[in-house]
A and B are shown apart, each in its own frame.
Chain A
């Protein structure tokens, strides 16, 4: 009887258990995992992909997919770096986010109003936006200019030893958590993923909601891009290749259904940390990056198989 109850608790929180398991494993197999430096580094590394994955989660919740996020990261990085020579920090930030929103608006328009498959629309956006990034930067990385060096503080600084990036991640997390749990928009997003036609026949503006979700995803992606620029000090046009797959992997490890309607922000973030811990530990263990890719893929398969069997 007790065993059944334990099993149930375990299955309901499987992502959390995998996360804890990974945490313990990381502590055991390495000497320097649980150091302030490593943990703060881990959070700094995870924050951008964390923001992007949460955006991806919203898209996946409505039964869509956004393949353009990696390209958006590159283009926004380049755009911000170029802007940083021209305008002051807050203006550059606002313009960068607006540019991100524009990309999302375009994908959202094609998908929601022109009924294009999200896979196709965002695939096209992926190559276009990547091209824009290369065009703007003429193919070379662009360092951050003097007007907006504040970005470096955002990327590398901390408050009470906690990186600013962690605060940003936390704020977005709380907003999305509340949105999905206590807000009408969140309810509608979940319902669209569950049965889009039924939402339409309930008299709800489905198209507008879908459009908004793609805009939100791209805005979060732009925020992630800014964190990356802040950490590295450069906007790189060839960064973020394959990033969309990492984000999708994090969402899936977080137990979301790729058909939509099911998923949680908390589990998505745990998924992000599980993935980055795998990378982090293997780096600490000096495992070559080629082998890392293989192991990462295997862990994704195991994690998802495990959830499937529940």
Chain B
């Protein structure tokens, strides 16, 4: 079966992002960019399905400006077979991205679409679920284990109370949680090979989607700063402070 994986270009997770002084946006000048960690897990899962003989082809898709082709190349180096870049500029909302991905789904007709559960820049946690609704597909979000069984997909999900197992009919959507797998690193030969893999570019018009914005960002600001407190000498002083100064224990 064909597997489509959605990868997003985001700020590297080690970067501590700050608001610009004038509050218009975050400062992303000279910041290291990377593939969203949850998307890396998505690519890994798709590649493992291929290695297990379950998937026949893995297609990596990214929506964004030209530079997101770097992240598609990363996915190709990790084992995806070909890439699709949907070229669109500006701040793109999950609803728009989901519509664009729906356009790609209509063209490619994958049996399985794997996305990350959350992008670590916008912290939206929306796109996979929205794509599910638009494509009328079932979803296994926050997945920590998936297994294809005939024309069904069994998914173990991380939920507030613990774990939940669902059976989904295929085609289906999966969004990855941290425990789904541990992504591999791309080897140098595979990075070289990835440069030659097929990468098609579409515009939103090609997919019949209008890129309209429903939400505007008025300003950004830093959160209320916490001041570092004090270091206590020992456990006795800690207990004393908690009782008599902070008054949080009795």
Does B associate with A? no
B residues at A contact (CB < 8 Å): none
A residues at B contact (CB < 8 Å): none
